[in-house]
Amino acid sequence: MSIRENIHQVIDLIKPEHILVSVFDKSGLEELIKGILQVNPAARFYSTGGTGKKIMEVLGASASRNYTSVEDFTGAPEMEGGLVKTLHPKVHAGLLAERGNPAHEEYLYKTLAAMGGPPGVYFDVFVGNLYPFSSVVAKEGTTSETARVNIDIGGPAMTMASAKNWHSVAVLTSPSQYQGFVGSLRENNGKVGLQQRFVLAAEAMRSIGEYRTAIGAYFSALDFLKDVKPFLNIR
């Protein structure tokens, strides 16, 4: 495993052309989508499941021009129960790739295309919020199994990938950020700046830290024999 700093030039202003969306809370999504399309009518949105249906509903007649399902993008069908949807090289390479890196460009445009389907893309914006773990476990009668299945895996992975690569990606983790984000796009000729991407990334990292801490605290407090085993179908 090799770890190195980004040696390639970092772009200040990025136009939102490829937007990956994976949200549990869909409030404000219509305003965000329409706001992005106002500054870039050619913007393309990528998503799965219920989020994809909401995006297509917002796009209406332009859905075929502005929307691609993650399944069509990756060529990989969703696993039953929605357990595996976005954990795919095309998704994470698009979030982690360095702009201007010839090796990464070759990986996105040639290596991934050789896997079948369209080539990869640099994602410019990731919009994500997670399964509401804390509110679920706060409900009376919630079992350890209910808590377990409400642990989001793909969402935190994409959020941290985007936050890590704030050089290249703007990451939105709350509907409360949408209005300000769209406003800044209008002020910056339809582009998102480096400083804003950094601020959004820091907020995303903090939110993921709180999310994982809540999960760890909940399960660490359980008694296996009393709180876990009775809710399992053990053979």
Q: What is the CATH number of the domain that holds 73?
A: 3.40.50.1380
7 inside domain? no
10 inside domain? no
Say what the pLDDT of residue 164 is.
Answer: 97
- Per-residue pLDDT band for 217 (boundaries 50, 70, 90) equals very high
Residue-averaged pLDDT of the chain: 92
**Tokens representing 71?**
């399944």
166: phi then psi, degrees, rounded to nearest 5? -65, -15
12 inside domain? no
Q: How far is CA 64 from the centre of its chain?
A: 21
141 inside domain? yes
Structural domain count of the chain? 1
6 inside domain? no
The residues that bridge with 67 in the sheet, in sequence order, are: 45
Amino acid at 47: S
Say what the pLDDT of residue 1 is.
Answer: 53
4 inside domain? no
On whether the CB atoms of residues 36 and 185 are closer than 8 A, the answer is yes
Structural domain span for residue 191? 18-231
Say what the pLDDT of residue 60 is.
Answer: 93
What does the pLDDT average to over 104-119? 88
11 inside domain? no
- Per-residue pLDDT band for 159 (boundaries 50, 70, 90) equals very high
Residue 21 CA to residue 29 CA, distance in Å, equals 9
32 inside domain? yes
Q: Taking Cα atoms as reference points, which of 146, 134, 193 lies closest to residue 168?
A: 193
Residue 50 CA to residue 22 CA, distance in Å, equals 9
